[in-house]
């Protein structure tokens, strides 16, 4: 997250605030939301269950219960070996290390916790389903069109889960931008048909795991339980069904995760396993949000420590991933979600804030188990080199870090398209910014894995940024759906939802029609420019879906001339699409002789969004504030 955005959210009350909480083993225990205890004296075990046949045979169990750390452990199960236990600073925890041999069969492993009175916990080992099911863990590629939504703000499909007894946040209050509004998993699922009509192939909800914080819990980025879906969205079982139903509907699911921190209301904070489970400061210290401290060759150690170990906010405890027990806990959790649900990809929030060795270990472990999975991280940074540093790149190892993350959220191109539509062309300014940003793609191993976007849940909405200019709106959408990479659309952009991120957070307003009593239902009834916008996105997205040249073809760009930027998507089969963007107010005449290497052999074309014929490719007169997407014909 960008530091300026963080400060503005703090001022507006959008981020959690309150007195700093000490993270210590003596902190009071919070109410638990895990499954009912299976044995007296054992509150829970994470991971809550596991599988036989994983590539990594080792399993670290974090056992929680009053005084459990004072017990010894025994088991007898064919193929499962007890590798020992480890006591923690807090006697309410015990680490149990197991090795699960390839010969082990699914079943219940009786874990005996011996003390004054023996306790037995039946730990569930299951059969894997992902390796032989092609509908699971499909990955996310440039062939996809990703739809980012906030579950709480999209649609309320099950009013019965609006208010859950015992949870800290107050009841649903749709008149407050920082309260829960009632959206849920069923609300998303009820509109799978709408998403398919739009041309979407992958859904990215903001975090759906439990976020039981007393304030501003709707966004999900201060999780309080790694292993449970927030009950106001649904249950774990309903999430598994959600992913399965999405796959049946031709939609992939991207799971939004936070590696760097967690909410202070979670049981791991309230009754911490040890002080070194989280980064400690004598007084509350917020991160300086300066990602450059990660790889600045002249950095002070204080600045680097504050960036990586400072807390994101007072209710977001910073996880100490240099502790191998913490690292293993997080890695296992995100393997667990994939195997349990069959989800297709992870978007990693605040990617660059985590400890660097941990990032490499996390990425390697996930990709080892699931080579097809889509992985991309939030990199809200300055400069393409800094962005490429966090992705798989051509750089040498820097201070022990070599990124293995396949893709990133491409903020640099988001800056560029906004500049192209809001600033006149100059030598490097305006539409030329796109050219120079794409020119820097040489730094990535594969820039096609980067995620393109016009806006998101942290940014002012695209339609407002461009001054609600509908011509510019179409230009930006044309670029989004024809440029290299994986396009992502923020919910409501297709029906011209607008507003700014400051000061009141209205970029996260409810989708009209998703909630009982809404005056408009834009899921079903669209008129005027709202209808035209939806139609434009749908036509281009669905064309892209069925024409691989546009989503997987090569890219060739030409230096912008007089504010007109031209690029081609093409393949070895002789197919080509020409995109020409005129950023000027006035019409421009373009002589195309310099495009000969891409136009030779083609006699004309068809503009995809209008169906208009382009008969003469030698001289083109393109209206002002227009983007043409032309399928070339021989």
Cα distances (Å, whole numbers) of residue 185 to 254, 514, 596: 13, 12, 51
Q: Give the Cα-Cα-Cα angle 67, 73, 74 (nearest 5 degrees).
A: 155
The CA distance from 580 to 614, in Å, is 12
- Round to whole Å and give the CA distance between 13 and 444: 37
Q: Cβ neighbours of residue 175 under 8 Å, at least 6 residues apart? A: none
Torsion, CA 442, CA 448, CA 450, CA 452, rounded to 10:
110
- From the candidates 152, 349, 369, 494, which is the catalytic residue? 349
How far does Cα 553 stand from its chain's mean position?
25
Helices vs. strands in the chain: H and E counts, helices first:
17, 28
Q: Is 349 an annotated catalytic residue?
A: yes
Helices (H), 219-311: 236-248, 267-270, 301-309
| Terminal-residue alpha carbon distance, the chain | 47
CB atoms within 10 A of CB 36: 7
Q: How many CB atoms lie within 10 A of CB 301?
A: 8
Q: Do 503 and 12 contact (CB within 8 A), yes or no?
A: yes
- Mapping DSSP onto H, E and C, the string for 57-82 reads CEEEEEEECCCHHHCEEECCECCEEE
Within 8 A by CB and 6+ apart from 234, the residues are 158, 161, 184, 185, 186, 208, 242
Q: List all residues 6 or more positions away from 333 whose beta carbon is below 8 Å from its beta carbon.
A: 46, 47, 226, 227
Catalytic residue among 184, 318, 355, 378: 378
Q: Which two tokens stand for residue 63?
A: 């056992």
Rounded CA-CA distance 117/67 in Å is 12
Q: Is there a contact between 122 and 103 (Cβ–Cβ < 8 Å)?
A: no
118-122 — which CB contacts under 8 Å span 24+ positions? 119/39, 119/40, 119/41, 119/42, 119/71, 120/39, 121/38, 121/39, 121/42, 121/45, 121/63, 122/38
Give, to the nearest 10 degrees, the angle between helix 356-369 and helix 324-341. 30
Helix (H) or strand (E) segment spanning residue 360:
helix 356-369
- Count Cβ atoms below 10 Å from residue 171 Cβ, excluding itself: 11
Q: Hey, which bits of 128-278 come out as E strands?
A: 146-149, 202-205, 209-210, 225-229, 252-258, 261-263
Return the structure tokens found at 604: 């004309």
Q: Which residues pair with 589 in a beta bridge?
A: 621
* Collapsed DSSP state (helix, strand, coil) of residue 455: coil
**Strand ranges (DSSP E) for 170-297?**
202-205, 209-210, 225-229, 252-258, 261-263
Question: H-type helices in 410-527, by residue range?
Answer: 411-422, 432-439, 462-465, 470-480
Q: For residue 515, give the H/E element and its range.
A: none
Contact 96, 58 (CB under 8 A): no
Q: Which residues are catalytic?
A: 349, 378
């Amino acid at each position: 997250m960008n530091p300026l955005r963080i400060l503005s959210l703090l001022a507006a009350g959008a981020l959690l605030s309150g007195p700093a909480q000490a993270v210590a083993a003596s902190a009071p225990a919070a109410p638990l939301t895990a499954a009912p205890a299976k044995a007296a004296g054992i509150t829970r075990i994470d991971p809550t269950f596991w599988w036989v046949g994983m590539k990594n045979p080792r399993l670290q169990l974090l056992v929680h219960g009053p005084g459990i750390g004072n017990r010894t452990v025994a088991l007898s199960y064919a193929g499962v070996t007890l590798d020992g236990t480890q006591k923690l600073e807090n006697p309410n925890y015990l680490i149990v290390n197991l090795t699960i041999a390839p010969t082990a069969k699914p079943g219940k492993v009786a874990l005996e916790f011996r003390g004054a009175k023996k306790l037995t916990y039946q730990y569930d080992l299951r059969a894997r389903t992902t390796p032989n099911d092609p509908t699971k863990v499909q990955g996310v590629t440039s062939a996809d069109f990703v739809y980012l939504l906030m579950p709480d703000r999209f649609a309320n499909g099950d009013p019965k889960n609006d208010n859950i007894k015992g949870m800290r946040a107050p009841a649903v209050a749709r008149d407050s931008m920082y309260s829960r509004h009632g959206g849920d998993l069923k609300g998303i699922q009820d509109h799978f048909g709408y998403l398919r009509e739009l041309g979407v192939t992958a859904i990215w909800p903001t975090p759906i795991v439990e976020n039981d914080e007393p304030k501003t819990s709707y966004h999900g980025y201060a999780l309080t339980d790694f292993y449970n879906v927030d009950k106001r969205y649904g249950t774990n079982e309903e999430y598994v069904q959600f992913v399965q139903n999405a796959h049946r509907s031709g939609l992939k699911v991207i799971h939004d995760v936070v590696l760097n921190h967690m909410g202070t209301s979670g049981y791991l904070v309230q009754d911490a396993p040890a002080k070194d489970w989280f980064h400690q400061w004598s007084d509350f210290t917020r991160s300086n949000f300066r990602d450059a401290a990660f790889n600045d060759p002249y950095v002070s150690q204080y600045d680097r420590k504050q960036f990586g170990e400072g807390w994101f906010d007072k209710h977001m405890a910073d996880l100490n991933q240099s502790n191998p027990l913490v690292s293993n806990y997080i890695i296992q959790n995100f393997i667990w979600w994939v195997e349990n649900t069959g989800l297709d990809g992870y978007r990693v929030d605040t990617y660059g804030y985590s400890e660097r060795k941990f990032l490499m270990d996390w990425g390697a472990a996930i990709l080892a188990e699931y080579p097809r999975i889509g992985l991309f991280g939030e990199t809200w940074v300055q400069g393409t080199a800094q962005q490429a540093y966090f992705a798989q790149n051509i750089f040498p190892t820097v201070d022990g870090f070599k990124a293995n993350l396949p893709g990133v959220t491409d903020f640099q191109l988001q800056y560029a398209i906004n500049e192209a539509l809001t600033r006149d062309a100059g030598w490097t300014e305006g539409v030329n910014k796109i050219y120079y940003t794409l020119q820097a793609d040489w730094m990535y191993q594969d820039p096609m894995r980067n995620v393109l976007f016009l806006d998101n849940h942290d940014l002012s909405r695209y339609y407002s940024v461009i001054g609600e200019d509908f011509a510019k709106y179409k230009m930006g959408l044309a670029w989004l759906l024809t440029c290299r990479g994986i396009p992502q659309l923020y919910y409501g952009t297709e029906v011209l939802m607008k507003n700014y991120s400051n000061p009141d957070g209205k970029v996260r307003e409810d989708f009209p029609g998703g909630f009982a009593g809404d005056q408009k239902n834009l899921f079903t009834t669209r008129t005027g420019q709202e209808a035209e916008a939806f139609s434009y996105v749908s036509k281009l997205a669905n064309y892209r879906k069925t024409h691989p040249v546009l989503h997987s073809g090569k890219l060739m760009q030409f230096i912008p001339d007089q504010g007109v930027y031209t690029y081609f998507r093409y393949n070895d089969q002789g197919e080509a699409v020409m995109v020409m963007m005129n950023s000027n107010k006035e019409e421009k005449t373009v002589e195309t002789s310099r495009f000969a290497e891409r136009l030779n052999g083609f006699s004309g074309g068809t503009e995809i969004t209008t169906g208009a014929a382009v008969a003469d490719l030698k001289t083109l007169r393109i209206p002002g504030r227009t983007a043409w997407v032309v399928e070339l014909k021989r």
